[in-house]
Structure 1
């Protein structure tokens, strides 16, 4: 029986249960720990799959309504682990050998407060903050569109990558597009930066939704541009996603913006699924995205050892 079920809404509580079950089922390959707790006492879990010296970093659900990315990452972990334990070859690839060389570091739900608010509304939060959260949501009791964390800060505008130049900032806590008072004000973003410095990944992948597009460029240096462009084109070809062309002044503040600028290594932001409006992706999109990304991440893992440090 599979551990990660994909037929219903994926919640923070399910994530916690699945993490424990996966670590028990595959103790030789999976470990996990908390980066810290949100202001509402939810853990930011970090999972490690593999034993290799070459690190990759994947994360999901920077935005509350994008919880399908968490489900995708957790299901990929389960499928990879199952294949490794059964010693099966996947698309002519020996996964056991690959995971002896490479380790996948994964934060499947960067924003558990935002996810919970989007899914359950203010009833999942203390009564004392209900009015404040409603104000952040512009008075609406429908939180389906919610992207921010529990403080009304858009976590993917929190990274110190030309943060001062970010456009379309809401100027105050809101359900989307508020960059905060300063970079890394939100602990969720600060902890991701600390983790990234600690593991120094060869490549980073931040899953978002939606639009079936791939962001890959943020002031990439002339020395790395050809490499990153080649990988981005391969990513687009393998996924069927549209490759976003470089802009002279891309809007910063995102995780992969910061990663590219800081480490001069490839950083990709795939937007899963076709845009459904200001809401979460429907579950019927999931199997198609899993089919795309299961082999794609393994391709990136094979590429990672060849990315210069």
Structure 2
């Protein structure tokens, strides 16, 4: 919610009045100098929404405060009104703390739905940062969400593969539950999310491959150029359940310069629904955007969410650091997923990260079955993966 600064207001006073950690309040207003608040200036108050209320006969601020369980001081902060001059019919704003769901998760994400939900979250919870890190082949933004201020920098992404978009839902559900937990001061599985916020800086890219996800979940694109292209690649079939690639038939998780030549020689040699590594490493804008993000942010660890198998791949060519095993054992304990150190595969996102940075990288294969996994598995998969999200605080 927006708050108009009144005489005597400071960030410290606002923090106490609205029961918000001071640093979260400051982070929600990145372009405001906390030491230079001016009367009439507007600041964002995270974790709150406003409800309009019309003054009724007999109302006083005390009566309204008791009816809605809102401290009078908080009502006055949101409404620079004279408490002794309330008039029937006048409207005031009631600051309501957000303590329940803002989003629903009852269907797979499309890009437009993802964008809509991300915009809603950043407007409702202004302490998160949303930015565009690149664009897809079809010019759709690839979004990164950042939250937290800890020294531990963790990155998680989903939907590298088109027919694995349930991973986007899992990431968005965690982000949503995390924000509501911060707002309501209710822990998640006993984990205080304010502590998580203070100790972990989290980077999320919920949908690496928006064009591919929309092909699966919405069907053929409207643009004739891309309609013709995907039909040619897919042998004129409109069944895209087997489609993992981006819109021009390149497997984005075979795009990284970690023995890319091995995958190039033994996999498909032309655009295909799956398993074509592309004409060269990092030929695709989506893969480039992710590589640039990693190089910019210098993450301590990365997790790429895929489906399926309920396993966690965590090694590459013996280059992973010793702590990678400790971390994956905790991930395994809280999820029930089986850790697998080595597999005959190269050129993946986590392979490249381990090779280039010698830091822990993980490919987490959520759920079981045949891709695309039925959305009826979503709640079960989310509960399995929730422990992995939360354990990034402790390991």
TM-score (norm 1): 0.91
Per the alignment, residue 313 of structure 2 pairs with 215
The residue number in structure 1 matching 2:379 is 287
Alignment: residue pair count: 295
Structure 2 CA distance for partners of 1:137 and 1:43, relative to 1, 3 Å: same
Match of residue 15 from structure 1:
114
Instruction: Name which of 257, 265, 275 aligns with 1:160.
Output: 257
CA RMSD of superposed structures (Å): 1.6
Contact 1:239 1:293 in 2 (8 A): yes
Q: Paired residue for 2:388?
A: 296
- Does residue 235 (structure 1) correspond to residue 327 (structure 2)? The answer is no
For 1:288 and 1:135, the matched residues in 2 are separated by 37
- Which residue, out of 270, 273, 283, partners 1:175? 273
Over 3 Å counting, the alpha-carbon distance change for 1:5 and 1:90 in structure 2 is closer
- Look up the match of 2:365: 271
CA distance in 2, matches of 1:90, 1:8: 23
d(CA) in 1 for partners of 2:109, 2:236: 26
Q: 1-side partners of 2:342 and 2:240: how far apart? A: 33
Secondary structure of residue in 1 paired with 2:394: helix
Match of 1:149 in 2: 246
Name the counterpart of 1:257.
351
Name stretches of at least 5 consecutive residues in structure 2 with no aligned partner: 1-99
Larger of the two Rg values belongs to structure: 2
Aligned equivalent of 2:88: none
Question: Matched residues in 1 for 2:352 and 2:214: separation?
Answer: 26
CA contact (8 A) 1:110 1:188 kept: yes
- Give the 3 Å change call, closer, same or farther, for CA 238–48 of structure 1 in structure 2: same
Which residue in the other structure is 1:72 paired with? 170
State whether residues 119 and 144 of structure 1, in contact with CA within 8 Å, keep that contact through their aligned partners in structure 2: no
Separation of aligned partners in 2, 1:88 and 1:2: 13
Q: What residue ranges of structure 1 are gaps of 5+ in the alignment? A: 304-309
Work out whether 1:109 is the aligned partner of 2:201: no
Q: Is the 8 A contact 2:135 2:289 kept in 1?
A: no
TM-score (norm 2): 0.72
Shift of 1:227: 2.1
Q: SS where residue 302 of structure 1 aligns? A: coil
Which structure is higher in RCO with an 8 Å CA cutoff and minimum separation 6? 1
Contact 1:153 1:178 in 2 (8 A): yes
1:245 offset after TM fit, Å? 4.2
Q: In the alignment, which residue of structure 2 is the partner of 1:306?
A: none
Give the aligned partner of residue 3 of structure 1: 102
Distance 1:83 1:102 in 2: 15
